Amino acid sequence: MKKINIGIIGGTGYTGVELLRLLAAHPAANVLCITSRSEDGRAVSDLYPSLRGFYDLAYQAPTPTLFDECDVVFAATPNGVAMKYAEALYEKGIKLIDFSADFRINEVATWSKWYGMEHACPHLLEKAVYGLPEFNREQLREATLVANPGCYPTAVQLGYMPLLRNDLIETDSLIADCKSGVSGAGKKAAIGSLFTEVSESVKAYAASGHRHQPEIRQGLQEMTTEPLNLVFVPHLMPMIRGIHATLYARLKRNDVDLQTLFEQAYQDEPFVDVMPAGSHPDTRSVRGTNMCRIAVYHLKESNQALVLSVEDNVVKGAAGQAIQNMNIMMGIDETSGLNLPALVP
């Protein structure tokens, strides 16, 4: 298999180190460079001893020509960073997969409203492909710029997609009740992420409006022609990794076999596992993997569809999905470097 030369913008945070962990086992990955202004000159293995023996790389301050030999660049950076690199990489034909929200929202005014800054290259928004392979696989094959989906949006969209595509639910009253591990907040120091604040406690946050909501609504709206309304409430859980999305929707009719529907919808998807009827998937079952596990229930008395969707927020919700996208873009086996069992216990 031909080697893929890879550059990484950022790479000091949780999604960055997860990307490096997964790429270390990828048969085609050849990581040429990784950037960080704050860690310039420091060996990657000094910052993350878990990578000792796998990488002989040091962080570098970014330069205009640093990525010229790369086939693919991953941007594992906060919002507002990747868009500053995107135009130069795009003009050189270097593929960019952005972990942040810089290219996820189609309308620039909506993006600026939720992310509090002006977009550096709004003309590239229409060039970006939203990197949910189960929905956009064919577009990804030809993509140069990919917006890697957020962790919550991935779990929610995969849970609702078979229902929306088959016009089975009322779209005016969708409810997504979601839980996330603390790593979803990133590596920055914050009181709300301290062990003593998170341990033995569960709390909702951003209930009046979370930044992932417009991304989720936009993605779901592309799956249906009907106007869509969504209530999305995220919760912080006392765990490091994981997303658990409990999704509710009113069915239009009561005679549908939801189990068969979901099994058929995802039968050819390598990273969506529809569980047997009556299952309750847990986040531990996907820890460290690129798998999204789904269970579906038909609550016949209330004529409701109930979907349970779990994933690892830093793998299928970030680094793993980014590698899945890279594999598709580069025309290699989509599962390369990603066929891993969960980390249990």
Q: Residue 338: which of 312, 315, 317 has the closest Cα?
A: 315
121 a catalytic residue: no
Cis peptide upstream of residue 162 (ω within 30 degrees of 0) = no
What's the rounded Cα separation, in Å, for the pair 259 and 208? Answer: 33
**Annotated catalytic residue, options 70, 121, 151, 292:** 151
Residue 243: exposure state from Cβ atoms within 10 A (0-12, 13-18, ≥19): buried
The string over 95-131, giving b where at least 16 C-beta atoms fall within 10 Å of a residue's C-beta and e elsewhere, is bbbbbbbbbbbbeeeebeebbeeebebeebbeebbbb
DSSP-derived letter for residue 218 is H
Contact status, residue 10 vs residue 75, Cβ threshold 8 Å? yes
What does the DSSP 8-state code read for residue 251? B
Interacting residues of 342 by C-beta distance below 8 A, sequence separation 6+? 284, 285, 286, 287, 288, 289, 291
What Rg value do the Cα atoms of the chain yield, rounded?
20
What is the rounded CA–CA span in Å between residue 149 and residue 284? 21
Q: Alpha helices of the chain — where are they, by DSSP H?
A: 14-23, 44-47, 83-91, 108-115, 133-141, 151-165, 195-198, 212-221, 258-265, 320-329
* Cα angle value 172/137/309 (rounded, 5°): 50
**46's tokens:** 């000094």
Question: Which amino acids are annotated catalytic?
Answer: 151
